[in-house]
Copies of this chain bind each other. A is one copy, B any other.
Amino acid sequence: MEGVLRGNAAVQRRAIAKAITLLESTRADHRAQADELLTALLPHTGQSFRLGISGVPGVGKSTFIEVLGLYLIASGHRVAVLTIDPSSTVSGGSILGDKTRMEKLSVEERAYIRPSPSSGTLGGVAEKTREAMLVCEAAGYDVVIVETVGVGQSETAVANMTDMFVVMQLPNAGDDLQAIKKGVMELADLVVINKADIDANAAMRAEAQIKSAMRLFGLVNNAMANNKGEAQAADFDKQWHPQVLQLSALHNKGVDAFWAAVMQFKNLQTANGKLASRRQQQALSWMWERIDTGLKHAFRHDPAVGAMLPSLLEQVGNGRLPASTAARNLLSAHAQRA
């Protein structure tokens, strides 16, 4: 633990890697040590800004995160980059690629880059990433970026562990409105249109269409800002409203405007109390989610359940046994286990 909290850069880096490896271990004794370590580190966590970044493959996440990371280091920050790669939880493969990404950032002493845990359920991977984030915070990284690919439930997982969730889009998103998924837009605090320099018109159209979709989904309410009285306008100003920004990570254009928006978000959310309440709510939801997962796991691995399940599934599927009766029988068998 001391190694994580202080020491020279090389010693600390090794201690962080060792701590995260411990967290990722599936051995029960390691897990007990990991719990002890986390509890000890916890008072030293929470001082960073937690930034989630998502986008489909090819949107330029790595390029953007590298440019942003170098920009932040130049401004005196220390930056940790963690990754949740949903593909690794299915195939052991990787959409996000290996450690050779972000070559410039990875050699920086003030940056720490850790790829996704390479196996386990998404819930398990998300838990380990969440815990790795705490280790990085305790080690003094004041910006923690959690990256994920815009597929499936991994976006929700990342949004639920960060202070701000950024969705990256390509300028041709406007050609395919179906790419604007409501579920993701609801999570987004900020939408970034990357590669905006390739086609300025397409980028403008994409921005207009994303804003229109946000209004359609009820995520942005322009009427509130425009038509209400001063008191309500003042209240409106105290809340963050999702924004859309254009930039070009490859040409390092718009990164300063991006960070200015992030800081505006952070200041507003700190002042109106939402940063703190979001973190508290995230911790409690996380606890309940892990409990639900654990309850299901215990049920499905209960030999009494396993013995009954195949026959009951068949009977329910064939319409010979009411689903609710089957559920009650299984729950009753599970409750009577020693």
What CA separation (Å) do A326 and B178 show in the bound complex? 40
CB distance from A327 to the nearest CB of B (A): 4
Contact A324 B131 (CB under 8 A): yes
Q: Let me know if A283 is at the binding interface, CB within 8 A.
A: yes
A43's nearest neighbour on chain B, judged by CB, is: B320
Stretch at the interface among A197-205, A257-265, A289-297: A289-297
CB distance from A220 to the nearest CB of B (A): 11
Contact of A316 among B131, B287, B298, B317 (CB under 8 A): B287
Contact B299 A284 (CB under 8 A): no
Contact A217 B182 (CB under 8 A): yes
Could you say which residues of chain B place their CB within 8 Å of the CB of A280?
A: 317, 319
Could you say which residues of chain B place their CB within 8 Å of the CB of A215?
A: 177
Contact of A131 among B35, B134, B290, B322 (CB under 8 A): B322
Q: A295-B331, A299-B291, A331-B291 are in contact. Are A323 and B216 (CB under 8 A)?
A: no
Q: A299-B295, A327-B291, A328-B35 are in contact. Are A316 and B283 (CB under 8 A)?
A: yes
Number of identical protomers: 2
- Per the 8 Å Cβ criterion, residues 253-310 of A in contact with B are 279-280, 283-284, 286-288, 290-292, 294-296, 298-299
Highest count of chain B CB atoms <10 Å: which of A296, A316, A323, A328: A323
Q: A292-B292, A320-B42, A322-B42 are in contact. Are A287 and B327 (CB under 8 A)?
A: yes
Q: List 13 A-B contacts (CB under 8 A).
A: A39-B321, A39-B322, A42-B322, A177-B215, A178-B217, A284-B313, A287-B313, A290-B323, A291-B299, A291-B327, A291-B330, A294-B328, A295-B334
Q: Which 4 A-B pairs have the closest CB atoms?
A: A290-B327, A286-B323, A287-B323, A294-B331
